[in-house]
Amino acid sequence: MQDAELSKAYRILNHGPVVLVSTSHQGKRNVMAAAWNTPLDFDPPKITIVIDKNTYTRELIEASGSFAINVPCVAQMDTVRSVGTSSGRDLKDTDKFALYGLETFFAKTIDAPLLEGCVAWLECKVIPERHNQNTYDLFIAEVVAAYADERVFSDGHWHFEGHDDLRTLHHVAGGEFFVTGAAVRAAL
Amino acid sequence: MQDAELSKAYRILNHGPVVLVSTSHQGKRNVMAAAWNTPLDFDPPKITIVIDKNTYTRELIEASGSFAINVPCVAQMDTVRSVGTSSGRDLKDTDKFALYGLETFFAKTIDAPLLEGCVAWLECKVIPERHNQNTYDLFIAEVVAAYADERVFSDGHWHFEGHDDLRTLHHVAGGEFFVTGAAVRAAL
């Protein structure tokens, strides 16, 4: 795991992967899947992400003012599906991490559990924009820390060759995904 | 080319492809590349897209209140690079369509040229949100028409098997892209 230069952190989301959003507030924690994310600015890096009003994650984000983005890989496809189709609000005396056997480690700058086995992580602080949040479920956040699995992301570039199980995922619908495919380069 | 059900139009962008944004206003027209797009809502479908203040496309969008999203494919990689690295404002007595030999057809509901050879198209009307536009270069728009090349998108699903040259692209940086890869499905 390697720190990613913050000015290149947008590259972690630039190709449009599905992500897992993890949150914590006063001892409660949750994780959900979110396909509707995108970079918003380079430096300081900002992102947007859509978090539905009905989600438990939304409640924890609005209480804590922060969240983490975890970029999952092919090997975690079933986890993405599991945490994306259940609500942490329904769980008694447990949470999704315990229920699905997800190992975590501590974020550096915010209070959120980060998922082991993912290939990149962004620690995010919400820039309060109530109109966007209330009208569109749209959150804007600043990325305050970024790191990645250096086997597949370093110097601001993803390089998946030789690590097919660490390729990122693009959500289609339900439990269907596309794997991030071949790297190609324009002639010009 | 087939009309896409509007309630499934979000699926066209759900996997995070790079897109081309085309615009027209009072006889002037332009096209640029935009990686920072995402669905925002299902029905009526809305999207967000980041359009830098310095772009000519921004000027035409703010004047016309509309734009089209064209989803390019592998075969158009050099076009994505070309229109993404030049400004229509710099061109005298021509435009990017003529300069790069891009064939177009008419949008159905807005005044924007759509690009032949792309694999899906969304006609979008801006939902004016001046604060987002001015502060973040962030545009919110409603999708008012959607269609796709039925060889690779139908019934709300992409299906690229047997059409590798029609696969969509995910932008990395500069002229580098990932091709949309294999379709996979979670076990659960």
- Candidate from A67-76, A178-187, B2-11 with smallest mean pLDDT: B2-11
Q: What is the dihedral of CA B53, A6, A45, B77, to 10 degrees?
A: 60
Tally of helices (H runs) and strands (E runs) in chain B: 4, 14
Query: B91 lies in a domain?
Result: yes
In angstroms, the CA B41 to CA B47 distance is 7
Query: A146 lies in a domain?
Result: yes
Query: Do the Cβ atoms of A107 and A145 come closer than 8 Å?
Result: yes
pLDDT band at A92; cut points 50, 70, 90? confident
pLDDT digits (tens, 9 = 90+) for B105-117: 999 999 999 999 9
Question: HEC profile for B64-124?
Answer: HCEEEEEECEHHHHHHHHHHHCCCHHHCCCCCHHHHCCCCEEECCCCCCEEECCCCEEEEE
Coil, helix or strand for A74? helix
Query: A187 lies in a domain?
Result: no
Could you tell me whether strands B2-3 and B138-148 are parallel, antiparallel, or unpaired per DSSP bridges? Answer: antiparallel
Query: B186 lies in a domain?
Result: no
Asked whether the predicted pLDDT for residue B4 surpasses 90, the reply is no
Closest CA–CA distance from residue A97 to any residue of chain B (Å): 17
Query: A44 lies in a domain?
Result: yes
Q: Which candidate in B18, B160, B170 is best for mutational testing of the A interface (most A CBs within 10 A)?
A: B170
Question: With contacts defined as CB-CB under 8 Å, which chain A residues touch B138?
Answer: 40, 48, 140
pLDDT digits (tens, 9 = 90+) for B38-87: 999 999 999 999 999 999 999 999 999 999 999 999 999 999 999 988 89
Query: A154 lies in a domain?
Result: yes
User: Chain-wide mean pLDDT for chain B?
Assistant: 96
pLDDT digits (tens, 9 = 90+) for B146-163: 999 999 999 999 999 999
The CATH code of the domain that includes A153 is 2.30.110.10
Closest CA–CA distance from residue A77 to any residue of chain B (Å): 6
In angstroms, the CA A74 to CA B12 distance is 21
With an 8 Å Cβ cutoff, are B77 and A186 in contact?
Answer: yes
In angstroms, the CA B91 to CA B30 distance is 10
Query: A184 lies in a domain?
Result: no
- ipTM confidence score: 0.95
pLDDT digits (tens, 9 = 90+) for A158-171: 999 999 999 999 99
pLDDT digits (tens, 9 = 90+) for B8-26: 999 999 999 999 999 999 9
pTM of the model: 0.96
Q: What is the dihedral of CA A7, A11, A17, A23, to 10 degrees?
A: -20
Give the per-residue pLDDT at B188: 72
CA nearest to A46 within chain B:
B136
Q: Which domain holds residue B16?
A: 2-179
Closest CA–CA distance from residue A139 to any residue of chain B (Å): 11
Asked whether the predicted pLDDT for residue B93 surpasses 80, the reply is yes
Domain count, chain A: 1
Asked whether the predicted pLDDT for residue B1 surpasses 90, the reply is no
With an 8 Å Cβ cutoff, are A16 and B16 in contact?
Answer: yes
Average pLDDT over residues A140-150: 97
Closest CA–CA distance from residue A47 to any residue of chain B (Å): 10
Coil, helix or strand for A176? strand
**Among partner residues A36, A78, A186, which is closest to B38 by beta-carbon distance?**
A36
pLDDT band at A174; cut points 50, 70, 90? confident
Torsion sign over Cα A41, A44, A45, A51: negative
Task: Say which residue the tokens 């390089």 belong to.
Answer: A159
Question: With contacts defined as CB-CB under 8 Å, which chain A residues touch B187?
Answer: 77-78, 81
Longest distance between any two alpha carbons in chain A, whole Å: 57
Give the per-residue pLDDT at B2: 86
Query: A185 lies in a domain?
Result: no
Closest to A113 (Cα-Cα) out of A13, A9, A23 = A23
Give the per-residue pLDDT at A4: 87
Question: With contacts defined as CB-CB under 8 Å, which chain A residues touch B11?
Answer: 172-173
Give the per-residue pLDDT at B24: 97
> Under the phi-then-psi rule, with left for phi > 0, alpha for psi from -120 to 50, and beta for the rest, what region is A7?
alpha
Enter the DSSP assignment of B43: T
**Among partner residues B11, B40, B175, which is closest to A186 by beta-carbon distance?**
B175
Closest CA–CA distance from residue B77 to any residue of chain A (Å): 6
With an 8 Å Cβ cutoff, are B167 and A179 in contact?
Answer: no
With an 8 Å Cβ cutoff, are B184 and A171 in contact?
Answer: no
Average pLDDT over residues B122-151: 98
pLDDT band at B92; cut points 50, 70, 90? confident
| Rounded percentage of chain A residues whose pLDDT exceeds 70 | 100
Asked whether the predicted pLDDT for residue A186 surpasses 80, the reply is yes
Rg of chain A (C-alpha set): 16
Query: Do the Cβ atoms of B165 and A4 come closer than 8 Å?
Result: no
Average pLDDT over residues A183-188: 91
Give the per-residue pLDDT at B20: 98
Give the per-residue pLDDT at A34: 97
Coil, helix or strand for B140? strand
**Among partner residues A50, A172, A184, which is closest to B11 by beta-carbon distance?**
A172
Average pLDDT over residues A12-25: 98
Enter the DSSP assignment of B168: B
